[in-house]
Structure 1
Amino acid sequence: MIPNDRTGGIIYSPGTSGTFKNAVLQVHTDAGLSGEHVVSFLANLAAIPMFAKQLVGQNALERERLYQSTKFTQRGLSGISTGVVDCALWDIAGKYYNAPVYELLGGYRKRLTAYASTYHGDEEIGGLNSPEAYADFAEQCLELGYKAFKIHGWEEGPVEREIKVVQAVRDRVGDRMMLMNDPACAINTFGDAWRVGRACDEAGFFWLEDPFKDGGLSIHAHRKLRQKIKTPLLVSEHVNLLEPTIDFAMADATDFVRADTDYDGGITGVMKIAHAAEGLGLDTEVHLVGPARRHCIASIRNANFYEMGLVHPRGGFYGPPIFNNGYRDALDAIDADGCVSVPEGPGLGVQLDWDYIRRRRTAHAVYD
């Protein structure tokens, strides 16, 4: 599994390997408690030097105030590093009150229905190299217990192939699974996006996500597409934080709202987005995997799924094996009903394998 050199997407390439770097953010307190959060996208650490000194000496339980102050310091940068710090602060809070984060948030459910979210298409034997291969994989996921399946198609190539994969998966499992399509902002033109949208209409897809090569930013273009197709749109993954995300919804440019703990201001930010969307009568779908995301979904009524991804017939990339208390995200990490559980320990409820982490550490920074 390697990044596509031209597009950056993760694709299957047998006989090759790639290097993926993760980070662990720790926030320490003078009470002897530490909050920890695993960061998959290192860009989310980039602005921490801007505000780290401001956090020293502050009350770690005043998450709302710290959310607001770090967001203010990063104005113009979409609060890029607020989220990872906020997740660590919630971990501290749970440990302080001896409760899992989802209980502190109010709690709504303890089991989360997962959908299988695929790698991008490839050209390899045994991979996702054809519409039929996607259909085969969807059927495999159904047999494992998944109730829903999301296609990430090819990031390059003719739009006709994107349409054929929608049709092939619908024909194979469409009467037994909920289906979604995520071009991941790869479709070049409005016309091609409309054609893919029409195919999703005919196939009865649950949503179409981030179709345009605008990077998921244009309110006008998505509103126009929404007016011309029946399939609900899920947009706003790349529109970070509460205000611009809800602007998208208020402008009728999306039907579902996207939220991510690392992109959107942490657990605090995701819950703000979810409650605002609830007030508009819309659902919030949380992006990708991880303990913080599970706690959020467990506390949001207006959410449908946990995104198990990215998955592939030959395996998947879910981050390094750094948890030693049984927590895992993987294609086979669901139960017979297609669900995952929420960690029950204090805070985020997971334990990190610090021996593994220290042996592979490539850099270390301290702010005090």
Structure 2
Amino acid sequence: MKITGFTGWLVETEPGPKFIWRDGLPGSHGDIPRGTKPRKAVIRMETDSGLVGAIEMGRGDAVIDLVRRRYNWFIGENPLLTERIWNLMWEIDRIEEVHMRSLGMLDMLCWDVKSQQAKMPIYQLLGGHDRVVPAYASTVTWPTMDEYERYIKMSRDLGFTAFKLHAWGDVKRDIALSTNLRKWVGPDADLMFDGSAGWDYVQALEFGKAIQDLGFLWYEEPMREFYLGAYAKLCDKLDIPVLAAETSDGVHWNMASWIEGKALDMTRVSTFYKGGFTGAMKIAHMSESFGMRAQVHGMGLENAQLCAAISNNDYYEQLIMNEEQIKGLDKLGPLSIVGGNLTVTDEPGLGYHYDWDALDKAALTKIEVTERLA
């Protein structure tokens, strides 16, 4: 099988619900200029077998530009050789500095085709562990304690038994919130806290000591992920597992440095920050060899397959935003949460289906790449 070309469409999409993150971070609509809509890229990979891979990505303008300038290099390559394709893309990253969210896009297009060719779901091709994955309710940041209580209890009543806080970024208030969370959901629920890299070492240590006494499962990304020494000191001082290396570049090579430096207790994997399925699996297996869990970060069709593929991940992450969205979580098709669980689809492929003619009509930009350049 050979790759024969790529087609890309830049299209406008509807913005999702408005929400905020911790103090200091832009909210969910912070990158949408007034009077405009978000833009996404839809990318199709064509092969001489007639099978096509399809995916959609945010940062649409940049994604279209990357495909236009660099994906010609893969014309004629066999998409079933995913390890080869991944390493060729890693070589391009050396000169391109591909955005983390785009590095694994080609890999996932290839796994889409590979899955269709094998007539098997991606998670089974990756190894396969369990298609029924418990989900945790991952909050956005609400302005008041009352809102946290309302939406967390609403999620609890729908069957969630695990909850993660994105909070305000104020140590004292966040300790009070974490203490209340344990009261709201009881002693048996798994709890997590995501600091969204908002603190320095002193703040991170103070907060970590507080929540470890509440029996939290993990303490996630309390500081920016640059100086591993600070993370190593934090891990040494705390009993609660520190989950880190979420946004650091370099895939498994970078993760090896974190593990070697004893700067985390659990690793973060995702298809969008860690180089697609191939990169994420490299991290998951390396983590397992060190006796570490590799917790899957984020939602979506791709990460659902990853969750079902590996044994050392605990949960699928599901954001909860407002009442309407929470009450509609059981109506999300292949990503529906029912009774606190996600049942990953057994259908081959990634699961993106498009009306190509409609995309032609709606596109702000369309590109076609059909020839490999010297």
TM-based fold match above 0.5: yes
2:243 counterpart residue number: 234
2:70 counterpart residue number: 51
Q: Secondary structure at the match of 1:366?
A: strand
1:320 counterpart residue number: none
1:207 counterpart (203, 209, 218): 218
1:11 positional shift: 7.9
Which of the two has greater helix per residue?
Answer: 2
Partners of 2:236 and 2:357 in 1: CA distance: 54
Q: Secondary structure at the match of 2:369?
A: coil
Residue 62 in structure 1 maps to residue 81 in structure 2: yes
Superposed counterparts of 1:160-179, under 5 Å: 160-179=172-191
Identity in percent: 28
Q: Return 267-276 or 129-138, whichever deviates more.
A: 129-138
Q: Secondary structure at the match of 2:367?
A: coil
Deviations 1:177-214 (A, max 9, x none): 21100021122x222111211221121111111111x2
1:295 positional shift: 1.3
Answer whether contact 1:26 1:35 (CA < 8 A) is retained.
Answer: yes
1:49 positional shift: 4.5
Q: Which amino acid aligns with 2:204?
A: A
Which runs of 5 or more structure 1 residues have no equivalent in the other structure? 122-127, 318-324
2:348 counterpart residue number: 346
Which runs of 5 or more structure 2 residues have no equivalent in the other structure? 1-16
Answer whether contact 2:54 2:353 (CA < 8 A) is retained.
Answer: no
Partners of 1:11 and 1:147 in 2: CA distance: 29
Q: Return 166-175 or 202-211, whichever deviates more.
A: 166-175
2:162 counterpart residue number: 148
1:252 positional shift: 1.1
1:217 counterpart residue number: 226
Q: Secondary structure at the match of 1:364?
A: strand
Partners of 2:29 and 2:180 in 1: CA distance: 20
Partners of 1:56 and 1:85 in 2: CA distance: 12
Residue 262 in structure 1 maps to residue 280 in structure 2: no
Q: Secondary structure at the match of 1:37?
A: strand
Q: Secondary structure at the match of 2:38?
A: coil
Residue 30 in structure 1 maps to residue 44 in structure 2: no
Partners of 1:220 and 1:43 in 2: CA distance: 37
1:253 counterpart (257, 263, 275): 263
Residue 363 in structure 1 maps to residue 362 in structure 2: no
1:137 positional shift: 2.1
Q: Secondary structure at the match of 2:195?
A: coil
2:197 counterpart residue number: 185
Answer whether contact 1:135 1:172 (CA < 8 A) is retained.
Answer: yes
Residue 327 in structure 1 maps to residue 345 in structure 2: no
1:113 counterpart (105, 111, 134): 134
Partners of 1:18 and 1:48 in 2: CA distance: 24
Residue 297 in structure 1 maps to residue 311 in structure 2: no
TM-score between the two structures when normalised by the length of structure 2 = 0.83
TM-score between the two structures when normalised by the length of structure 1 = 0.84
Q: Secondary structure at the match of 1:297?
A: helix
Partners of 2:305 and 2:179 in 1: CA distance: 35
Partners of 1:50 and 1:246 in 2: CA distance: 31
Answer whether contact 1:131 1:169 (CA < 8 A) is retained.
Answer: no
Partners of 2:358 and 2:172 in 1: CA distance: 45
Residue 98 in structure 1 maps to residue 112 in structure 2: no
